[in-house]
Structure 1
Amino acid sequence: MLIERAEDLTLDAAPVELSPALLESLRANRSALLQALSSGEPVYGVNTGMGAMSKRRLDESEQRVHQRNLLLGRAVGGPPWLPYAEARAVVLARLRTFLTGDAGVSPELCQQLVALLNSGYAPAIPAEGAGSAGEIIPLAHAFGPLVGIGQLVDAEGNVHSAEAGIPAAGGAGFELGPKEGIALLAGIPGATGRAWLQVGVLERLVGRMGEVAAGAVAVVGANRDPYDPRVGRGDELLAAEQARILRLAGEETSPGALQAPVSFRVAGQVVSHVRRTVERLGEAVERGLGGVTDSPAYLGGEFLGTAGFHGIDLAAHCDHVVAALTHAAEVSTARIHRLLDPSVTGLPAQLARVPGPQAGLVTVHKRAVATTHALRRLSLPAAIGAMETSNGQEDVQSFSWEAAGNLATAVRLAREVVAGELLTVHQAFALSEREIPEGLRELHAAVGAVVPPIDVDRPLGVDLQAILEHVV
């Protein structure tokens, strides 16, 4: 993938190559930055200490090792490490922010990041323990391997020493130039990259949520009135979601009741709310990728100290998605319970072929209850609970790194609940005389391809895992 400008860099797994024109632009910007540094004026983290030590000026010998030491002295994290895909997304986000020119780093450093992305390895980054106004601890781990510090992980999760540097990147001899160490630690590329990765997963998941809900509506013969697009007046997104559920569920000429349980009737509102929060998160990610997050940033020929590390925008939108997913899981879990009830479906109790001797899908609901409870525990806003660090220099945090971690966990758990409802709806159709609506046949064919008919009790966890891996 040839990158001509920062916005061209995506999460695509294809090998990355920076265009000659982009490299030349980075080189010219770097030259101007070095010229500005030659004045000897204090520049935070370049010729001064960091944090509470920022008043301490560094002499020339100290400056020569300072940028590497910034990575060495802040790598205090440990396992568990981020999965390979998340760690790679952190590197991608860092490179994309560098390509804007704000950091003033060299094209050679950007090429080192490209080599890391193309190597098949990612840095071993601690999943927890950021604890500062920005992300200096996880970012020290993320970019230490460029200079032979720390560890790497491969796609299978195996851990390798980074003492020899990045494979195919010229060994561990890369030397960070002025301002390049602090640039690697600046901003919130970690939370941005991790959230960026989840947006793609969420876009697929929210589509599945609507399809699964439509199947539940169809199999119980719910009254279709709540899904009439006209009730979405004033909210185009809701009206579109209502129309989609109605189309997927098909018309119902003889509803089982005047009103279905609330968990069925609110499907459009719930799914459209999740979709809306995901869209807003995507916008926040774009702001994080394209905004000024370096500090000091090199803008218009001068160095500006910024607060681009304060990721409250991203943290708040991560929190919002987690809350939306939690509510969606609660509603989905309620529908699973109703689908096990003969008074709602007219089907055998617990969707067992032989109720009594067989448990049917009752334990699928129990797993969904536990998973939803775990989601509730994640829904406390991450930005609450600031504590001072660095002798009071850092007296608040946004905890955007933790918010992004909560988001990844919430997405995993929400997928589990959706898989549980999909399996339940699939079994309900198998026991029902109702035909699967045309718009849902492809989905249920995909389930049928990995889940054998449930005629007797068996370990349904295997079936749920198959749905997670191949359908949801």
Structure 2
Amino acid sequence: MSTVTIRSTGITPADLLAVARGAATVVLDSASLDAMAASRAIVDGIEAAGRPVYGVSTGFGALANTFVAPERRAELQHALIRSHAAGVGAPMPREVVRAMMLLRVRSLALGRSGVRPLVAEALVDLLNHDVTPWVPEHGSLGASGDLAPLAHCALVLLGEGWVLGPAGERVDAADALRRVGLKPVELAAKEGLALINGTDGMLGMLLLAIHDAAHLFTVADVTAALAIEAMLGSERPFLPELHAIRPHPGQSVSAANIHRLLQDSRVMDSHRDDLAHAVQDAYSMRCAPQVAGAARDTLDFVRTVADRELVSVVDNPVVLPDGRVESTGNFHGAPLGFAADFLAIAAAEVGAIAERRVDRLLDVTRSRDLPAFLSPDAGVNSGLMIAQYTAAGIVAENRRLAAPASVDSLPTSGMQEDHVSMGWAATKKLRTVLDNLTSLLAVELLAAVRGLQLRAPLTPSPAGRAAVEALGAIAGEPGPDVFLAPLMEAARAVVAGPELRAAIEREIGPLG
């Protein structure tokens, strides 16, 4: 079991993955504890002086001008958490909630939120005891950050609300804390607000999506190369000198991947000097690196945005080292919402061009002598005909999901919060687009492998052989129709997992 140390300088994307998807233990270093204690001393001084400061001695949102008496300020913080835990819908996945909690600890540990160290330590205890709050999917507008989702997390610290049970069921938070030996926390001034004001849900989902997209975009090069090989396509459009004259970095990487994946193939050798072979392949084949490469460049931009956010203070108000407490707008999720929408567009197009290659593979008039729908006995059998229907339906859904959420806004809180980012919605739908892309690449993988199997006795490239071996163990040889859904689920697991890429890289070296 690994350990993730949260420092006053923040955490890394790898830290987040280790906690969100793994079982890493979380610890706070001494510098972060000192930074929080120093920040808290400033808030205590404000309390003692009786100065009106937003979030410390006033209400929130449209109630920012309402002064709260000292004896009711702890009550104010508890009431804030209860009232803001107003989400509805199905629970968010465990990995998203754990990512959100870790990022909230990171935010507090930067020492600009004015909370006692024990508040951050209480969140760490939830992570280390695998107590995952039940966070409904609807409720956040992306400003002031992810208020409702974070409030559902904070409510568990108070011994209230719900947590996810072992089978995903809803469990009473007080019972869950009791079972692992944890006690509820009594919040002091400013601490409730500090627990819920920030972009942690959006950023957590974006970081998880970045990791998944990086893997899927490389797999997309693999499935494209396999489909091109099965359709007797040309490797010449992927020559490096043709991409050097249009120097988009991602395009060059994808082209290099596809070119290398197509080497040492008897299938490719069979038609390289055939004068009857098509002079130019269809766009879905020839332009694969232009689309996948643009997606890679989009991912690089999104990664830059996320890296900046990982070192950002997104609370409001913030406690500055010189003793000032200032209101900010850093909780606004526009940077993350824009980035998520951009990546969703790119991922949707990677899936869309993959579906076009699937359609060509199945069409007897365009697949260069492969049987209709990749069935050796088409007519009685339908082969992969309906798998392409499924892919087409998913492409249509991804097009709808690629419509940006970040251009939408609805005013709230008596017009005090009159422009919101919808960043939570943008990052949440991005996860769906990437899950859909996994399915689309699975259909292309299955179709390409069927195509390569039907080219026998010609042997495919090393990448093709690895794919045929991986899928052949699941799908067998081409033959009579079988129940397709389990094969497609198995292909999804191959696309999502690391084994196929690892097998290919053992043969041809690392892919970009």
Q: TM-score range by the shorter chain?
A: over 0.9
Find the aligned partners of 2:171 and 2:45 in 1 and give their Cα distance: 39
Please point out which of 217, 234, 239 is paired with 2:252. 239
Corresponding residue SS for 2:377: coil
- Matching of residue 222 in structure 1 with residue 245 in structure 2: no
- Give per-residue Cα distances to partners, 1:110-167, cap 9 Å, x unaligned: 1111111112231111112324633212221122101012111146422211134635
Quote the offset at 1:225 in angstroms.
Answer: 2.3
Find the aligned partners of 1:180 and 1:87 in 2 and give their Cα distance: 20
Instruction: Provide the TM-score with structure 1 as the length reference.
Output: 0.95
- Matching of residue 124 in structure 1 with residue 134 in structure 2: yes
Q: Describe the shift of the 1:143–1:447 C-alpha distance in structure 2 as closer, same or farther (beyond 3 A).
A: farther
Q: Conserved in 2, the CA contact under 8 Å of 1:147 and 1:165?
A: no
Partner of 2:475: 451
- After TM superposition, the structure 1 stretch with the greater mean CA deviation from structure 2, 225-234 or 159-168, is 159-168
Q: Describe the shift of the 1:130–1:10 C-alpha distance in structure 2 as closer, same or farther (beyond 3 A).
A: closer
- Give per-residue Cα distances to partners, 1:205-232, cap 9 Å, x unaligned: 1111111101111111212222112222
Among all aligned residue pairs of Structure 1 and Structure 2, give the percentage whose two residues are the same amino acid.
Answer: 29
Find the aligned partners of 2:41 and 2:305 in 1 and give their Cα distance: 32
Quote the offset at 1:202 in angstroms.
Answer: 1.4
Q: Conserved in 1, the CA contact under 8 Å of 2:141 and 2:423?
A: no
Find the aligned partners of 2:164 and 2:176 in 1 and give their Cα distance: 13
Please point out which of 342, 350, 356 is paired with 2:379. 356
Quote the offset at 1:294 in angstroms.
Answer: 0.6
Q: Conserved in 1, the CA contact under 8 Å of 2:263 and 2:461?
A: yes
Q: Conserved in 2, the CA contact under 8 Å of 1:450 and 1:466?
A: yes
Find the aligned partners of 1:70 and 1:131 in 2 and give their Cα distance: 17
- Matching of residue 38 in structure 1 with residue 48 in structure 2: yes
Q: Describe the shift of the 1:195–1:2 C-alpha distance in structure 2 as closer, same or farther (beyond 3 A).
A: closer
Q: Conserved in 1, the CA contact under 8 Å of 2:216 and 2:495?
A: no
Superposition CA RMSD, Å: 1.9
Find the aligned partners of 1:465 and 1:156 in 2 and give their Cα distance: 21
- Matching of residue 204 in structure 1 with residue 215 in structure 2: yes
Give the partner amino acid of 1:130.
S
Find the aligned partners of 2:51 and 2:179 in 1 and give their Cα distance: 38
Q: Conserved in 2, the CA contact under 8 Å of 1:189 and 1:289?
A: no
Quote the offset at 1:40 in angstroms.
Answer: 2.2
Partner of 1:310: 332
Partner of 1:10: 16
- After TM superposition, the structure 1 stretch with the greater mean CA deviation from structure 2, 363-372 or 23-32, is 23-32
Find the aligned partners of 1:148 and 1:225 in 2 and give their Cα distance: 64
- Give per-residue Cα distances to partners, 1:7-61, cap 9 Å, x unaligned: 2543202111223443234323322442244322222122101111110000012
Give the partner amino acid of 1:266.
C
Please point out which of 332, 337, 354 is paired with 2:354. 332
Partner of 2:415: 392
Q: Conserved in 2, the CA contact under 8 Å of 1:116 and 1:169?
A: no
Find the aligned partners of 1:334 and 1:116 in 2 and give their Cα distance: 46
- Matching of residue 467 in structure 1 with residue 505 in structure 2: no
- After TM superposition, the structure 1 stretch with the greater mean CA deviation from structure 2, 17-26 or 69-78, is 17-26
- After TM superposition, the structure 1 stretch with the greater mean CA deviation from structure 2, 440-449 or 317-326, is 440-449
Partner of 2:77: 67
- Matching of residue 53 in structure 1 with residue 63 in structure 2: yes
Please point out which of 191, 207, 210 is paired with 2:202. 191
Find the aligned partners of 1:359 and 1:125 in 2 and give their Cα distance: 44
- Give per-residue Cα distances to partners, 1:285-342, cap 9 Å, x unaligned: 2222211211001123321211112111110110011111111111111100000123
Give the partner amino acid of 1:270.
V
Partner of 1:78: 88
Quote the offset at 1:169 in angstroms.
Answer: 6.7
Q: Conserved in 2, the CA contact under 8 Å of 1:340 and 1:350?
A: yes
Give the partner amino acid of 1:390.
S
Give the partner amino acid of 1:284.
V
Give the partner amino acid of 2:405.
A
Q: Describe the shift of the 1:192–1:208 C-alpha distance in structure 2 as closer, same or farther (beyond 3 A).
A: same
Q: Conserved in 1, the CA contact under 8 Å of 2:35 and 2:109?
A: no
- After TM superposition, the structure 1 stretch with the greater mean CA deviation from structure 2, 246-255 or 141-150, is 246-255
Q: Describe the shift of the 1:157–1:279 C-alpha distance in structure 2 as closer, same or farther (beyond 3 A).
A: farther
Q: Conserved in 2, the CA contact under 8 Å of 1:145 and 1:165?
A: no
Q: Conserved in 2, the CA contact under 8 Å of 1:248 and 1:437?
A: yes
Q: Conserved in 2, the CA contact under 8 Å of 1:2 and 1:19?
A: no
Find the aligned partners of 1:104 and 1:165 in 2 and give their Cα distance: 28
Find the aligned partners of 1:108 and 1:186 in 2 and give their Cα distance: 18
Which ranges in structure 1 are unaligned for 5 or more consecutive residues?
Answer: none
Find the aligned partners of 1:25 and 1:181 in 2 and give their Cα distance: 18
Q: Conserved in 2, the CA contact under 8 Å of 1:274 and 1:321?
A: yes
- After TM superposition, the structure 1 stretch with the greater mean CA deviation from structure 2, 353-362 or 228-237, is 228-237
- After TM superposition, the structure 1 stretch with the greater mean CA deviation from structure 2, 384-393 or 451-460, is 451-460
Give the partner amino acid of 2:403.
L
Give the partner amino acid of 2:446.
L
Give the partner amino acid of 1:379.
A
Q: Conserved in 1, the CA contact under 8 Å of 2:261 and 2:463?
A: yes
Quote the offset at 1:168 in angstroms.
Answer: 6.7
Q: Conserved in 2, the CA contact under 8 Å of 1:119 and 1:168?
A: no
Quote the offset at 1:404 in angstroms.
Answer: 0.9
Give the partner amino acid of 1:250.
Q
Q: Describe the shift of the 1:289–1:169 C-alpha distance in structure 2 as closer, same or farther (beyond 3 A).
A: farther
Find the aligned partners of 2:54 and 2:467 in 1 and give their Cα distance: 56
Q: Describe the shift of the 1:22–1:64 C-alpha distance in structure 2 as closer, same or farther (beyond 3 A).
A: closer
Give the partner amino acid of 1:262.
Y
Partner of 2:507: none
Instruction: Provide the TM-score with structure 2 as the length reference.
Output: 0.88
Find the aligned partners of 2:288 and 2:80 in 1 and give their Cα distance: 50
Corresponding residue SS for 1:391: coil
Corresponding residue SS for 2:319: strand
Q: Describe the shift of the 1:168–1:2 C-alpha distance in structure 2 as closer, same or farther (beyond 3 A).
A: farther
Q: Conserved in 1, the CA contact under 8 Å of 2:112 and 2:318?
A: yes
Corresponding residue SS for 1:387: coil
- After TM superposition, the structure 1 stretch with the greater mean CA deviation from structure 2, 235-244 or 2-11, is 2-11
Find the aligned partners of 1:270 and 1:94 in 2 and give their Cα distance: 36
Quote the offset at 1:102 in angstroms.
Answer: 1.8
